[in-house]
Amino acid sequence: MRFNKHISLVISLLVLFTMVLSACGSATPTQAPTDSVDWSKVKTVAEGGGMEALIAAAKAEGELNVITLPRDWCNYGEMMDNFSAKYGIKVNSLNPDGGSADELQAIIDNKGNTGPQAPDVLDIGPAYGPLAKSQDLLAPYKVETWDTIEGTNDSDGYFFVDYRGVLVFEVNSDVVTDMPASYKDLLDPKYNNQVALAGDPRASNQAAQTVYAAAIANGGTLDNIQPGLDYFRQLNEMGNLLPLIADAGPVAKGETPITFEWSWNAYANKDRFNGNPNIEIIYPNDVNWGGFYYQAISAYGPHPAAARLWQEYLYSDEGQLTWIKGYCAPARLTDLLSRNVVSDELKTKLPDSQLLASSIVPSGDQLDKARADVKEQWDSVVGLDIVTAGQ
């Protein structure tokens, strides 16, 4: 009898154990295994199984390719360093001095390339977001903080605003002692060989928008950029416009004493130079031109999980505050301010709120047309190649 009781007990335990295993096997998994997710198709982190799954997949990829991000542009140097340290992912920075057109071309040239020359993510001018989408170069994705991103974001998440600022004059006051106050002032002969653009207007969003701003300052409209092209033709003909791209090197050396610059770049240079040379930042009084950039993910990037983790990091509170440290007004600024996340010290680095609110910002269609007009007519109207110093 005792033997039978032992047999019955063993059988009962085996049945119970089998039932437990069966129940566990039939439970619906709450998170997709990392290796079963095609992150190039994932449109939200929830689709991929959550943030832990995304982090694991991105770490497994181990690298991220960014493009045309100078380290002092919106504090991207610190952003890249912090992201790499936080997740153990190597950040490869491609063509840091390039323009938005270079970013799109890099995707086209590297489709199917899994090496470091194929960009995973983009930071592009607003005319290039819709253009890249129309060329099927982008993958849609919405970060967890999507609902707090302000601006003209694509409704499906193909491109979305990252930060804003205004155009200013960055003046090396060790070279220039009589400060210009307007675009019209720069036509004065005393500024001979002193005025420079921050990029090639045929490829750079910043430079193309400078031409657009000059059009408004000289009687043009958001639908008529011709006065801006005529203005730069006049600057060139009188010898005031330099054929050099005014990046930090030529500015510091005094080779490009007056530069049309986004406010965040001008303040970053002022900090970097620390009085050697001295930099004066002028808000022109004949046009208050505002601008923003878009973030996007390449549809052909070799590190799709790392690309999506990068976007989640940029649009986290930590990432947004890092942009503010670089004098940029991030797209989630209203949300950050409403929750008292921005310190008083950081608030001093934000562009003037009234200037931002009152700045002229064209629509995406207007920017797209203006960009095309500048690209097509710069050579015939202005006739000056703008190149990197030393070329």
pLDDT at 99 over 60: yes
Judged on CB neighbours under 10 Å (0-12, 13-18, 19+), 377 is middle
Q: What's the rounded mean pLDDT across residues 210-227?
A: 97
Q: What's the rounded mean pLDDT across residues 56-63?
A: 98
| Same fold yes or no, 40-164+292-354 and 165-289+359-388 | yes
165-289+359-388 has which fold? D-Maltodextrin-Binding Protein; domain 2 (3.40.190)
Q: Is cis: bond before 277, omega within 30 of 0?
A: yes
Q: pLDDT band for position 115 (50/70/90)?
A: confident
CA atoms within 13 A on the CB side of 106: 30
Q: Are 306 and 58 in contact (CB under 8 A)?
A: yes
Please state, for a pLDDT cut of 90, what percent of the chain lies above it: 86
pLDDT at 283 over 50: yes
Q: What's the rounded mean pLDDT across residues 34-54?
A: 93
Amino acid symbol at 113: N
Q: Are 254 and 175 in contact (CB under 8 A)?
A: yes
Alpha carbon separation from 332 to 161, 315, 328 (Å, rounded): 9, 8, 11
Q: What's the rounded mean pLDDT across residues 242-249?
A: 93
Listed by start position, the domains of the chain span 40-164+292-354, 165-289+359-388
Q: How many residues in total does the chain contain?
A: 391
Q: What angle do CA 24, 30, 36 make, to 5 degrees?
A: 100
Please state, for a pLDDT cut of 70, what percent of the chain lies above it: 91
DSSP string, 106-117: HHHHTTT--STT
Amino acid symbol at 185: D
pLDDT at 91 over 50: yes
What CATH superfamily is the domain 40-164+292-354? Periplasmic binding protein-like II (3.40.190.10)
Interval 298-316: pLDDT, tens: 999 999 999 999 999 999 9
Q: In 3-state terms, what secondary structure has residue 326? A: coil
What is the rounded average pLDDT for all residues in the chain?
A: 91
**Which of 6-10, 242-246, 271-275 is predicted with the least confidence, judged by mean pLDDT?**
6-10
Contacts of 177 (CB under 8 A, 6+ apart): none
